[in-house]
Amino acid sequence: MPHDKVIITKFETAVVPPRWGLLRIHSSAGIFGFGEFTVEGQHDSARALVHELERWFVGQDAADIRGLVRGCYDQSFYHGGPHFMSALGAIEIALWDLRGKSLDLPIYRLLGGAVRDRVKVYRWAGGNNNAPGAAAEEAARVVSEGAKAIKMNACPPLAAIDTYGGIEAAVRRAAAVREAVGPDVDIAFDFHGRANVPMARRLARELEFCRPLFYEEPVRPDYNRWLPEIAAITHIPIATGERMYTPAEFSDVIAAKGVHIVQPDLVHVGGIMNALEIAAMAEANGIALAPHCPLSPVAFMACLQVVVTSRAGWILEWSKGLHYNVSGASGSVDPWLRYIAEPQWSQFDVDAGGHLALPTGPGLGVDIAWNEVLVAAQSGVSWRDERMELGDGTRANW
């Protein structure tokens, strides 16, 4: 049953394995909204910001999402960037979850309804610097689990002009993976910002034989001004956005015609409303939306709510089985499912085409087992950015 006015009463946070920061907002109605403030490897600072912003929200009507969130952003003289937007994104997502639960409706129904009845997902199939045989074996395993589309790291860190065999290694690994999964599985390559401009241009050409689904983050966002040139030398779609934090940043790269697939991370862009603005820009410019989400079920379900409402929405990253999540394992339970009540696991069964059905539950569509979260939080999080070096010892972007 719908609840009367719902007042925000308290924020509660936890950092849990493998590398997720989770927020639970308490309310006067006795219902909870869940959000995620993950800035991988820098959780403590993001968590501190969540509680610093708490004072703007406690005591307020939880239904006033736009006014509260945008007001907090505008009143804060220093805003933007990964930590501020992640903290604000956690709060905003939790407020949408709370609103949906208070009205007994999925979030996408509050946003105007769905334009599709299922969403295609892709899975990760490639850790860092796998040898060709190991990469092929991992990709084949993920495909055997039902994946119809996969993504893998495209290359090791590359020097400005590669003289350490990184390009050749990338080509050998891509060829092995394509042979292992066959011609009908889509393969996307994540450059992970590991290439400077000259090598990004070369790698974009060298990997075309594999018929990639897209190239992700061919250069770090610091160098987005070069994306139009990279896009012009290949027919493979260019994707970027995981390290971009405001709709304005996406507007700039779209206007420059440097991107074909926008990948906002809903946590890092400040939540659902900003992601919808980015989705609208994508639709208006005839390009695609594929949110970045190697994160927890909270962020994933928030992304799903956006993708089903947007005509530009197309495919969604799903971190179930992701190599980063190994440290979150709890017995035989996949760490991605660890914090979700077991009766809800079945909604994550993919169909024969690699799609997930629309969520039917209220709010985000999942309830987080907070008791399990608190147990896990006691063990802490050890995940840190991986240290990588070039052949001459120079530190590299992992």
- Could you list the active site residues? 192, 292
Rounded CA separation 54/49 (Å): 8
Cα→Cα distances 59→6, 68, 98, 331, Å? 10, 11, 15, 41
Rounded CA separation 391/179 (Å): 29
Residue 118: which residues within 8 A CB-CB, separation 6 or more?
Answer: 351, 353, 355, 356, 357, 358
Token pair listed for 357:
């059905």
Beta-strand ranges (E) seen in the chain are: 8-16, 20-27, 33-36, 118-124, 149-153, 186-190, 215-216, 238-240, 261-262, 288-289, 315-318, 355-357, 388-389, 395-396
**Strand-pair partners of 330:** 333
Count CB atoms within 10 A of the CB of residue 225.
13
Nearest to 220 by CA among 192, 239, 245: 192
Query: β-strands 261-262, 238-240: how paired?
Result: parallel
By the 8 A CB rule, do 284 and 312 touch? no
Nearest to 146 by CA among 356, 3, 294, 314: 356
Rounded CA separation 267/85 (Å): 7
Token pair listed for 39:
């800035």
Rounded CA separation 361/34 (Å): 14
Q: Is the omega angle on the peptide bond into residue 18 within 30 degrees of 0, that is, cis?
A: yes
Cα→Cα distances 178→10, 136, 159, 171, Å? 50, 8, 26, 11
